[in-house]
Every structure is written in C-alpha cells, then in structure tokens.
Structure 1
Amino acid sequence: MTIRRRTVDGIFEEGSDMNIHPHRLVTGIAAILATGMLMASSACGTGGGSQSERPSAKEPTGPITVVASINQWGSLAEQIGGTDVNVTSILSSTNVDAHDFEPKTSDVAKLQKAQIIVSNGAGYDSWATKSVGRNSTIVSAAETVGAMEGDNPHLWFSKDARNGMATELTEAFSKALPAKKKAFQSRLKAWQKEEKAIEKSMGEFAANHKNATYGATEAVAYYLMSDMGFQDDTPKGFARSAASGGEPAPADLQEFQSLIESQGISVLVNNTQESSDATNMLTGTAGRAGVPVFDVSEQMPQAYTTLTDWIADLVARLDKTVSPAIIDDSDESGSSNGKDGASAKNDAGNSADDKSDTGAGSSN
C-alpha cells in the first residue's frame, strides 16, 4: 500500500536496491557458447525463419478504478480524471452523519478492489483506509496539507486542500496510466482556472468586508469562512461542546443567544447535518433578531455536479446573504440593521428556491 503525501521534497516512493555481481569469463566455455550461437544462427538462416522477440510488458489501460470515501473528493477526482477514471463515492447523502458512518460489506469490497483510494483523513473517514488492497494507492487530503486527527476535518472547504488534492490526484492518475498524463495535466489546468475564479471572488469579498464576523452552530465551514476573511466569534464554550459532539452548557448557550440578539455577528452559519434542540434555538433566535442564517451541509448536495460548482455557489450566496447587513450596519442614515438583515436573509433564501435541498442558502 502506498500513501501519497506531498512534502517539501516532493513525492517519496519506495524502491528496491539492485545488487550487481561481476561475471567471470571462462575461455573454454566462452568458446563453446560462441560456437553454439554461430550454429544456431546458421540454422535459423537456412530455415528462412526469424527469432521471436520476448513480449514487452503491457502498458496499463484505463479507466482507472477510483473509490472515494466522500463525494466531495470523488467529484474532484472525476474532474481531473475525466473519462479515464471510473469513480465511486461511498458517502454522498446529505442525510447521513459522516462522523458516525459505518461502511457496508459491499463498500469494503469496493475499497479493496480500487486502484486508487481518495480519502479525507484527519479522523473523518478512518474506515476508508482500514481494509484496502495491497496494491492500492491512497490519496489523502489530510496528508496533503499536514492535517492530523483532532484538527478540523472539513478540508474540502479549504482552498489549500483543494489545490493540493487536485495536484496529488493528477500525479496519482499519471502514474497509474502514463499514456494519459497529458490529458490529466490538461484537466488540472482547466480545474485550476475555475478554482482561481472562486478564490478571486473570495478575495474581493474579504477586501470589501474587513469587519465581517460569524458564529457557527458547528465548525463545518471554518475553512471557507477563513478563506473569505471572516472572523470566528463563536463563544468558546459552545464551540468546544459542538466539537466534542456534546450538548452545550446552559451558560454557553445563553452567551451565544445574547451575542445573536445584540447582532454581534454578521451571520450565523448552521450545519444542516448536525441538528439539535440547541441549534434550532439559535437559528430561531437569529430569525427574530434579524441576523442572517446561512445553512451548509457537509456532503456535497446531489444538485451540484462538481465540487467547484458547489463552492462557487456557496461563496456567491454567502456574499448576497451577508453584504446588505454589513453595508447597512455602517450606514449613517440610522436605518434598522435588524430589518435590513432580515431582508438579506429572505433575498438569499428566495434565490435558492430551485436548490432548496442543496444544503446551501439561508434558513428561516
């Protein structure tokens, strides 16, 4: 099993030492061999035949069998691999809690037969690398960026992780199918063009919203919010409880509610796959206080065909949701920020009607 990890020095691969021993030349034997070769050559010439050459090793043919633990990275593998890969994503439903997911026997069988396994790592999908084939290559997002178990595992929302994984997948596919290396590199360049457009939008948002803050019911979008320049003002006690999967202490919940009621944050980010009485209470408080609520799921909703489409839409919707509230907050006319914030929320919600089940947009 090979684990692909990008380091400062590049990709390290195992090799084998080759021992070369000198041959002794024995004059008598050499003469006999030479005579035999001449006789064989003469016989071949007389018969009019020709010696058959030893068949060369076959070049690998596609498509490459790829199994991804989650559809976010499976989508990226499809973008880079195109028709030269056959990608299966084990987990793709927004109704399944990835943290508690247990693979079926059929899922394990797929992983064992895969040429390349694409995993998230950082403790998010440990099951994906427990039973793999001996010759399988693992491409791990966590290994790519140096994330460890205990770190925020929602790496697909990180621009650094996406860029790193795109490059790693290109290298893995090129090694598995050398004849298609140029095709993989061409698709990588096309993907990078789309990713740069997303990063440009995020940079523009950050430049225009230097004081943007947010609170989160769970840290699902931490990397996305950071890349867009948001400051995380989630109360520490509540954040620790959410990270451990426990219920928040009453004092921590009250602190969060007070923060929302005073409009101390620009937006409340809500993980739709981690619903509880506490999260319902917070989203309800935000609705009454006029603080926009931005819903986001962990798994990529099926309404999107690519990871870049999903991330681009999240960035656009978040911009539309937050921008009016921040602009009005700095308005010297004295208009009500709560009212305008609610309007921003409704506008973003209306724009998401055709993708109401996508896990991205504003919540009432």
Structure 2
Amino acid sequence: MRSPRHPRRTAAALTGAVVLTLGLTACSGDRDSAADNGDLRIVASTAVWGSIARQVVDDAKDDGSTLDVTVDTVLSGTDDDPHEYEATARDIAKIRDADVVVGNGAGYDNWLTDNAADGAEIITADQVTAGHDHGDHGDHGGDDHGDDHGHAETNPHVWFNLMLVQHFADHLAQYLHSVDDSFPDRATGVSEDLGKVTDRLKKLPEANAVLTEPVAADLLDGTKVRDVTPAGYAHATLAESEPSAADISAARDLITDGTATVLITNAQAQSPAASQLSQAAEDKGLDKKHAVINVNETPDNGQSYFDYLGNTVSALEKATGSTDGDAAK
C-alpha cells in the first residue's frame, strides 16, 4: 500500500564510523502526492544523480516492485557547469512538479533544492548548504580526508565519494519503500556495483597525482595514488578562483621534476592554470604514457554513472600501470 507523502527531508550522508541518520527534521508542506494518482516523479539535478536514481528504480522493478516511478534530469550532458548553472523557467516548472528531487548538496546544486515544491521530498548526497563558499563548513569526510590531502575545505564533488553514493541510493530506496512496500528498502544493485569499483581501486599501485580541479579527489582516498596537489593550488580551485602564480609554479614543478606521475584535469572547466599544468605534463611526456586523465564533472550524453565511474577507474589503471585493468570489472 502506498502511504501518504512524507514531509520534506534532506539526507545528510556521513562517512567513517558515523551512521547515516534518517530521522531528519521536516518542513511544512501539504502538496498532494502524485503517487496516489499515477507516476511518482523524481527530478535530478545532474546526470550523475539521475543515473543513480534510475538504477535504484530499475533494480527495484526487476525485483518485482509495482511502484510507478519516472526519473527526469535537468542537466543531462557536459555543456553546462552545475556550479554556475541558473535554472530556466522550464527547469523550475519541472522541479516544482516533482514529488522527489535528488541531487548533490554541499552548495553544488542549490538551484535544484531552492526550487523544490514545499511538499516535495529532498534527497541529497551531502548536506544542503548556502552558496559555493566551500570554506564555511567542515569536511564531510572527517579528519582522515583532511590529513590525506592537507586541505581543510569541503570538496563538493561528492559523487566520487563512494560511501556517500551508497548512502544516497539507500536513502532513496528507503523513501520509495515507505511510499510503496513493494519497493525494496535497500539499493543492493548499486551496492554490488560500488563494491566492484572499490575492489579495483584497492588494486591501484603507488603513484603521485596532481589535480587541476578537485573533481576526482575523493576517488583517490583509500588508494595508493596520493593527491600531491599543493595546498594553495587546491584551496584556490575549491574556492573556484584562479591559483596564484606561486601555487601554479609549485604544481608545475611537481610535474617537471617527476614527483607527480599522473595529471588529472577537467576539460569541462579548463582554466589558464590547468592549461599550464597540461602543457607541463605534455612536455614531460605524461600524455604518451596515458598518464593525463580528463574527468568531467558530469557524464557524457547517454552515459550512465557507473560507465562514467568505470571509465575513470580504467584511466587510473592505465595511468598507473595497473596489471588488472578492465579485467577487474
């Protein structure tokens, strides 16, 4: 049986030994449930979260769920930078018509959560915060994350934090289960796929990487690939500003002197600093060793999250000389 709509909630997924708390504060809202009159509509901010939501729904349908769910995505390609995106009137209408809105949080896609209807369920991988000032709140990964990289700021690109992805998928499944108990209350398919990726990451050999953008930083946590990006450079890119000449020079020196053997860049947000580091990597011959990796903030058109994630891991395997490669999938 389908239950009445739950009031608005926001999922704050926590890492480490902290248990995800699902008893969250509610805001008022009496919007009618579309689940009582046909499809339950999910709208996602980007293709990452739309793809994960769609997998949760498709896996549940394969397991016999009778809940009718549609998933729509606002930013489905690589043409727009979600950081800077401003929702159009059509986007806002789509978002306000959703029963459930799903996204990133961490100030990354406030244009989604700010426009959700009062009665909509809000599920995000990280806390919904104000704006893009990433230095105003603590690191969601705890002390270990800060120690590994030497950066105190929060990285909003949480789709490469696989624990947060798991929490997000499970929270969505639990909510949909509360609407219709034929829907499984755990995202077991997502869990299995994340487990395969984690196994591949654990097999990566030792290497040092410089990141022109922090997009893939969380993916390196727990691996033998060290993020050696200078703290000043990383701080500037997390604050969405151009690093100083000294910070760029420090990062470039790590490439030219051979300390960094991998460069991870983001062609979707190419900056003058990133161009300088890419040129240094080319001069060093890293491109010929497949050790210059491009990781966009969003999957290509039609690409699923796990294809996007798998391709990134494959690039890391090739760049670091891993002998497992795609055979580890």
Does TM-score exceed 0.5, indicating one fold?
A: yes
- Cα separation, partners in 2 of 1:135 and 1:104, compared to 1, 3 Å: same
Contact 2:255 2:261 in 1 (8 A): no
Identity %: 27
Question: Any unmatched runs of 5+ in structure 2?
Answer: 1-6, 13-17, 27-33, 62-67, 129-137, 142-152
Unaligned runs of 5+ residues in structure 1 are: 16-57, 328-347, 352-364
Structure 1 partner of 2:9: 3
1:146 deviates by 8.3
Q: Say whether the 8 Å CA contact 2:263–2:281 is kept in structure 1.
A: yes
1:196 maps to a residue whose letter is G
- For residues 215 and 169 of structure 1, do their structure 2 counterparts lie closer, same or farther at Cα, with a shift above 3 Å needed? same
* Cα shift readout 1:184-206 (whole Å, capped 9, x = no counterpart): 65xx222222221111111122x
C-alpha distance after superposition, 1:35-73 (max 9, x if no partner):
xxxxxxxxxxxxxxxxxxxxxxx9846532000111101
Q: Does 1:201 align with 2:200?
A: yes
Aligned residue number for residue 220 of structure 1: 215
Q: Deviations over 1:277-331 (max 9, x none)?
A: 2211211110111232111100111252x2122212211221012217xx9xxxx
Matched residue, 1:300: 299
**Which residue of structure 2 aligns with residue 12 of structure 1?**
23
Q: Secondary structure at the match of 1:132?
A: coil
Question: Which structure features the higher share of helix residues?
Answer: 1
Question: Does structure 2 conserve the Cα–Cα contact (< 8 Å) formed by 1:237 and 1:252?
Answer: yes
SS at match of 1:11: coil
Which residue, out of 85, 110, 121, partners 2:69?
85
Deviation for aligned residue 1:264 = 0.7
In 2, distance between residues paired with 1:303 and 1:112?
25
- Is residue 103 from structure 1 mapped to residue 81 from structure 2 by the alignment? no
Deviation readout 1:193-223 (Å, 9 max, x if unpaired): 2221111111122xxx2x3211011111111
Higher relative contact order (CA 8 A, sep 6+): 2
Q: What is the rounded CA distance, in whole Å, between the counterparts of 2:21 and 2:108 in structure 1?
A: 25
Which residue, 80, 84, 97 being the options, matches 1:113? 97
The answer as to 2:47 corresponding to 1:74 is: no
Residue 55 of structure 2 aligns to a residue whose secondary structure is: helix
Aligned to 2:276: 281
The 1-side partners of 2:264 and 2:36 are apart by 46
Counterpart for residue 132 of structure 1? 116
Shift of 1:5: 2.8
User: Residue type of the partner of 2:72?
Assistant: T
Report if aligned partners of 1:159, 1:227 keep a CA contact under 8 Å in 2. Answer: no
Q: TM-score, normalised by structure 1?
A: 0.69
Please give the alpha-carbon distance, in whole angstroms, between the structure 1 residues aligned to 2:252 and 2:237: 15
Number of aligned residue pairs: give it. 276
Tell me the amino acid that sits aligned with residue 307 of structure 1.
Y
Residue of structure 2 in register with 1:256 after alignment: 251
Instruction: Give the residue type in structure 2 aligned to 1:159.
Output: L
How much is the aligned-residue C-alpha RMSD, in angstroms? Answer: 2.9
Per the alignment, do residues 181 and 279 of structure 1 end up closer, same or farther by CA in structure 2, a change over 3 Å counting? same
* 8 Å Cα contact 1:122/1:147 also seen in 2: no
User: Is the contact made by 1:4 and 1:168 (CA closer than 8 Å) also made in structure 2?
Assistant: no
Alpha-carbon contact 1:61-1:177 (below 8 Å) kept:
no
Please state if 1:170 is matched with 2:181.
no
Distance in 2 of aligned mates of 1:93 and 1:216: 22
| 1:100 alignment partner, SS class | coil
- The residue number in structure 1 matching 2:320 is 322
Report the counterpart of residue 133 of structure 2 in structure 1. Answer: none
